[in-house]
Amino acid sequence: MAVTLIDGKAVANKIKVELHNRITLLKQRGIVPGLAVILVGEDPASQVYVNMKQKTCDELGIHSETTRLPADISQAELLRQIDRFNSAKDIHGILVQLPLPKHIDTETVIARISVDKDVDGFNPYNVGKLMVGKPRYVPCTPAGILELLHHYGFYPDGKHVVIVGRSNIVGKPLANLLLQKTKGCNATVTICHTGTTDLGYFTSQAEILVVAAGRPGAVTAEMVKEGVVVIDVGVNRVADSSTTKGYRLVGDVDFNSVSQKAKAITPVPGGVGPMTIVMLMKNTVIAAETLN
């Protein structure tokens, strides 16, 4: 049977229409949702993400303020910037783009973001809320992955979901989300990571396989079973002199071989990426609806 390509762009566009309606209702009440994005340094991938976030805010009519700070900014100054947005009435969501430069303590910075405006869901309070099964702001990539699975009718309930990667941004929050005893979640979850011996032993048992390893070719066809649903979270630049930019984007999964065995798979780009951005917009709308 032919593989289904999971079209994140199309699903994201559908959600944008719903959000646009909610934003219109907010505007009728005199409320314009506001998102503050803070970018520290010049990391090229982070710049691309931040630009895409701003563009999507503009498209939907969300007020956005992007603050670009030099890589050598002090932690104290960064915290001051967060405080400014914590108390700004026209800002409902705050996001600090990660990774941060090494001299800055990421945990301290994230903990400073008001729990009410933490649209990334990274503040330890919101992490804890998700972990005890009472999510408030769900981190955007895990939320986007769940939306994609539901949209295509791949319900995780009772399924074995194997996640490759234990990051605080994807692997751990996604595992907590899928573990919830609610309809549309309720999965059996395995998390694999760099300390896992024989990764293929685990990935080949997955009915749904989510790969957020940060490494191209981390999963190949021999490591998956026939009929698996594959969600590739990786975004890697690989040199390609045939393109004008000199590189192309690939995921963590060897798409050509794995798509021969999979029932469905996300492309890179155009799979998870657009969903992450739209879920950030959704969390910002939720913040504006609840903070006013």
Report the first-to-last Cα separation within the chain, whole angstroms. Answer: 50
Q: Is residue 236 at the binding interface for ligand GUN, with CB under 6 A as the rule?
A: no
d(CA 108, CA 236): 28
Rounded Cα distance between 225 and 199, Å, is 13
Residue with nearest beta carbon to ligand GUN:
98
Judging by DSSP bridges, how do beta strands 34-40 and 160-164 pair with one another? unpaired
Q: How far is the CB of 97 from ligand GUN (least distance, A)?
A: 5
Q: Closest distance between ligand GUN and the C-beta of residue 19, in Å?
A: 17
Closest CB to ligand GUN among residues 11, 39: 39
Among 36, 100, 169, 208, binds ligand GUN (CB under 6 A): 169
Interaction of residue 40 with ligand GUN, rule CB under 6 A: no
* Size of interface with ligand GUN, in residues (CB under 6 A): 9
Q: How far apart are CA 11 and CA 277, in angstroms?
A: 12
Q: Which of 97, 236, 259, 266 binds ligand GUN (CB under 6 A)?
A: 97
Answer whether 200's CB lies under 8 Å from 178's CB.
no
Q: Closer to ligand GUN at the Cβ: 235 or 265?
A: 235
291 binds ligand GUN (CB under 6 A): no
Q: Please, which residue, 170 or 179, has the CB nearer to ligand GUN?
A: 170
Distance of alpha carbon 58 from alpha carbon 80, whole angstroms: 26
Whole-number Å distance between alpha carbons of 141 and 170: 6
282 tagged catalytic: no
CA distance 102 to 121: 22
Which residues of the shown chain bind ligand GUN in the complex (CB under 6 A)? 95-98, 120, 140-141, 169, 276
The catalytic residues are 53, 97, 120
